[in-house]
Structure 1
C-alpha cells in the first residue's frame, strides 16, 4: 500500500477486557518470585504461557525453559507451566527430590479435580478440547491411559460410541470457543440425556469475557487484529469469533512488526484485542504503529472489568 495513509481517518476499537488473565499473571509471577527468592537459574518445564515475548523476558531474568524434567538439575527450582501437567510429572519430580512450583492455572486444576471425581464415581469421561494442546495432555494425564476420550468436533460427538450411555460425563479445555463448545455439548446431550455436566462451566471466565468483548466490536469493524501466539488456543479462537461476529477480515499477529499494512486498504474501522497470554505493552505498540500511519481515533469498548486474582504458592508468596 504505497499511498500516504497518515491523514486517512481510522476508528480503532479496543476490546475490553483483553490481554493477561489472572491465571497467566499468577504463572509469570511465580517464575519472577522464584528468581528473586532462589536466584538464577530457575528451570521452567515448557513455555510458562504461550507468548514468545513473555518467555524471552523471563529468559533474560535467568529462567531456563526445558521440555522435560530430565533436562533439569535436581538442585534448582523447576516451575510447571500454567497449562497443567500430567500426574506423572510431579511424581517424577518427587522421586528425584526436586523442588518444584506448580503454576497450573487454578481453573485448569478445577477441571482436573472434576475429571478425577467422575472417574472415582465410575463414569466414562469425555474431554472436549484440541488434541496435542498442553492443557489437554495435562488433563488426560490425570487419569490412567485410555480413561479420557477426546472429542474435538460436533461430528465426533455424533459418532462417539460410549461403553454405557447412561454413565457418561464431560469436561472441557478452558480456552475453547464458547459457541463451538456449546454445539458439541448440545450434540452430546441430545444423544446422551443422562450425561453429567460440569457444576460450573469449564471454559474460563477470561476466555468467555475476551470472546464477548471481540463480538461486541467486530460487527462494526472492517479489520480485527488479535495479538497473540499461533500456539495460543484462546488467541486463535478470538480471530474465529471476530469473523463470525461480522468482521470483514481478522488476523492473529505476534506484535506490531507482524502487521501487513496492505490489510488496511479501504479499512476505516479497526478492532484490536489480545489473547490471555499477551502483555499490554504489545497492544500499546500496535496502537502506536497504527496511530503513526493513520489519523486514528482510539475508542475503548465498555466491557467487563475483571477483578479476579489467584493466590501464589506459599514458597514464593
Structure 2
C-alpha cells in the first residue's frame, strides 16, 4: 500500500529496479548510475519523512503493514502466556494481555489488537475495546501488582467502542476506574503508543511512569475525521483538523504530555518491522532498569505529580 506522498519515492525505486534488470539482462555496467540513483532515493526519503504533515503521520500510523501489539510481544519476548476474560462478562478480543519474559525478566503486557485482514479486523472489533476489555486490562494489572511484575501497555486504538451496548455495560466507568487504579499501582508502568492513540480508548491503559510514542504515531482526544465532522459537518477538513489538534509525537513531547519518542526506521515501522521491534525492546529494557531503581512510593508520587501538572497554566 502506497500513500500519496510516497509516490515520487516509488517512481524512483521503479526506475532503479528497471536499471538493475537491464544490467542483469545485457551485462552492461551501470553501477555508477545505480549508485547515483540509490543516493537520490535515500536523500528524497530523508527529506520526505523529515517534513511530513500531521495528517501524513496519521496516515503512517494506520498503515496496515505496521506491527500490531501481538507482533511486538511475540517479537520481543519469550514464553508469552495470554490471559483471557474479565471474570464478569466476556473475553474482549480487542484487548489482549498476559505474562511474558522480556530480557530474562517476567513482565505483564497489555494492549489493543487490530487485524491485518477483514476477518481479523471484525474478530478484533477494529481494535476498539468494550468495557470488558478495560476490566480485563485492570484485572491483569492487579495480577501483575500481586506478583510484583512490571506492566507494559501497547496502545493502538481508534477509540473505545462507541456502541449502545458498550455504554449500557459502563464504558465510561470502566475507563475512569482504570485511570484511578493505574495511578496507584506499586509496580513500574510503561505505556507506549505504537499506532493510534485516540481519546479515552487509549487513555484507559495509558497512565504510566513513562509514556512513550513511536515517531509516526498520534495521540489525541479525538481523531482528525471526527473533529472535522463536528466542526465542519464534513470529513473533508481532516487535514486542517490534524494540524489544529497538534497530535504528533513531537507535539506531545513539546507539551510535556509524554516522556519520550522512539525513532522508527526511515519510512515507518512497517518498512523494517524486525528493526522496530528490536528498537522498542532495547528502549523498554533500559526504561525498566531506570524505574526499578526507584522506590515504589516515590514512583507513585512522581506519576501523580506528572499527570496532575498537565494542562495547568502558571502565570
The answer, yes or no, to whether TM exceeds 0.5 is no
Q: TM-score, normalised by structure 1?
A: 0.29
Query: Between Structure 1 and Structure 2, which shows a larger proportion of helix residues?
Result: 2
**Relative contact order: is structure 1 or structure 2 higher (C-alpha 8 Å, sep ≥ 6)?**
1
